[in-house]
Structure 1
Amino acid sequence: YNHSPKWSKLNKYKNGNLYEKLVKRQNANNFKDNTIKFKTPLGLRHNSISTLTNNNTDPDITNLKSEEDYDLEPYKIWNSKILTEFLTEKKLNSVYCYENLHLDSTRKKIQTDTKNLSGIYLILNKVTLDYYIGSAATNRFYARFTNHLIYFRGSKIVKLAVKKYKLNQFAFLILELFPEVVNRTNNKRLLDLEDFYLKSLLPNYNILTEAGSSFGYKHTEISRLKMKANYSQERRNKIGILNKGKTLSKETIEKIKEKAIIRDKPNYSEQALLNMKKNSKSVILYNLDNTVYGEFSSIVEAAKSVGCSEKTIRRALKTEKNFLKRRFIVKYL
């Protein structure tokens, strides 16, 4: 992406200012060519006006000759001054910027624009300029947005900040797009990208210092005391004697039996049964005189043959002598 920091190419630059070499900024005289009108490989148009320049200043869009000269019609809504100054200070060019998050139209736009995309996002508190950085797998940007800022299922710090400063004082930014569909194979690369942003920008809303890991997190002294109180010896003793010596009434026992009898048995398809058989291990049963009682393709079949539970056979396989019901010796084939 021409206008996105190439954090993944960090190893190419071993000397000099980190941001100066990673973020290629354009001169204000070339603003016409560099204003947001590029397309990503997915054909999505850039939605920000945060193009940076070589003299460390933003282009003054109020002094442009005319909108016709620069074809700015699709970009009537500019970033706020606070957001523009923040991007300039951090030397970032975001792929998408969203403000007025309290509006339904903004939320719908986020959902539409970020569909099937993955990458790195930033949540900015425009009052305190504190921010949170995270990563989103394919088609998960909107889920991250709603979890953190709408439903409060994400960062607890972000939740408390939104409740204090209100949602309209926050901005949601897409910093960089991940060029592939995220899966188990390349997920580590996405986490590495997030980890680099965390270590480079040092967001103070992030508790954890490493992406995808709780390493480095320290509980407060109050939290430690609460955890100790919850798992004190006194509490353990109370739990231990809670049902000690108690017996179930005949009526309760009958109800449990009735529920067990009418419980629906799992109905597996033929394909499911075949798949289970493929993953199962074959066992062999010996009589106590070491003669072979039978070979079975699975523990379930062996259990049916000798009239016991499959759990009984699994327990026998874990013992040293592998005795089963005092009549057989069971072993894996």
Structure 2
Amino acid sequence: MNHLALPLKITICWELLTITLLVILMIAVIICDFEQSAGNQQIKFSVGSSETIRNPLHSSLLAINEDRVHEIKYKLMLLATQHKNNCRKFSSKYLNNKEDNIDNLKPINVYNNFKESRSLILKQEKDKLGIYCLVNNVNKHTYIGSSIHLANRMKNYLNPAFLKSKQNINMPITKALLKYDTHNFSLWILEYVDINDISIRETYYITSVMPYYNVLKQGYSSLGYVHTEETKKLLSELAKNRVHSFETKSLIARRLTGENNPFYNKSHSIESKRRIMEARSAYSVYVYDSYKHLLVIFPSVLSLSKLIKCNHSTLVEVIKDNKLFRGEWYMSNIPHNIEDTPVIKDIYSEECKKLIEAFNNNSHIKKAIFVYDIDMNFINKYNGVMAAARSLNFSHEAIKKKALAKEVYNNYYFSYERIDNSNNILVKK
């Protein structure tokens, strides 16, 4: 139907003009008939006679007018019939033109089978923004769209639950994807664009191709739109008071069960399971001091983060990167040595409370610096690079640079980790 936008306007205008002319002439005919029946017959009464005499001149004029009106009516009816037939031919011509103007398109990526190329699409189009074209391989109809996350958009198109959702089911492209199935579509990536030009380039392709499945004839994006405070408050209140009925809950559950579930007939990889475990903190935390002595074992990251007043994600990063935490402790989700036994065996004991207090007292330390002489003898530990610079009267930039490079500076050796004096190596997990 998108191809008939301009022709339909012309057709409607012609039909309105024809109807207007017909109405005007019908009114003229009615007036003429009324005049003829009401007053245009001149009746002449003769005394002693009941004969009615017409005016011959007027009767001839009426006959001429009546013939003329019938002739005009016949011609208009003939014209209307011809116009109607022409409109049918005109509409049929465009309806039968099933292919969109895609011959001049030069896509940079083509996936001939949309369904089977799912994994490749999600891999190659990850974190990319641009213009895409969905081509129906059966009838060559197309849809032009844009997205700032191409991989996510394609994942939605390949999800039957998304296509059948209430807000999407009436879109022409979703109806086509459900009717012909996604394996009968091809995906063309037309170009990758800057976020500021995405609507302009989408409009260009839409006007060039005239895609059959596009409802709007120009690119549209709500990117960058910010709701007013009043709208935000209203949306918040609506969300708070929204309660799904039992029927709605049942429909939602039905949409996400069985084959409609995006994770249907799939399983998590080992890497995914590890990430899920990390996110849920479903592992123990082994706490070591800077000398690599096992101090205590906490049941989870969450339990430890609450005790030492630290963000959960921060502790996860410390464990992942094996960083020295608050200048004195290492943390790990696996033991450094399987034979190690913790110094503190009960996390509810007085010793553990003292350790937690020490954690909290060092909360201001982000990155401690250890200072050694040229023979690797320990001199001092400072709470940070700035504290060491003030005490030794050195430039903090120089200390930072030499600590990262692990080089001697003015007969001093600076390190972000404690050094084992026995064999001059960094004490690491």
**Into which bin does the TM-score normalised by the smaller protein fall?**
0.3 to 0.5
Superposition TM-score, scaled by structure 1 size: 0.33
| Greater share of residues in helix | 2
> Bigger relative contact order, structure 1 or 2, given CA contacts below 8 A and separation 6+?
1
Larger Rg: 2
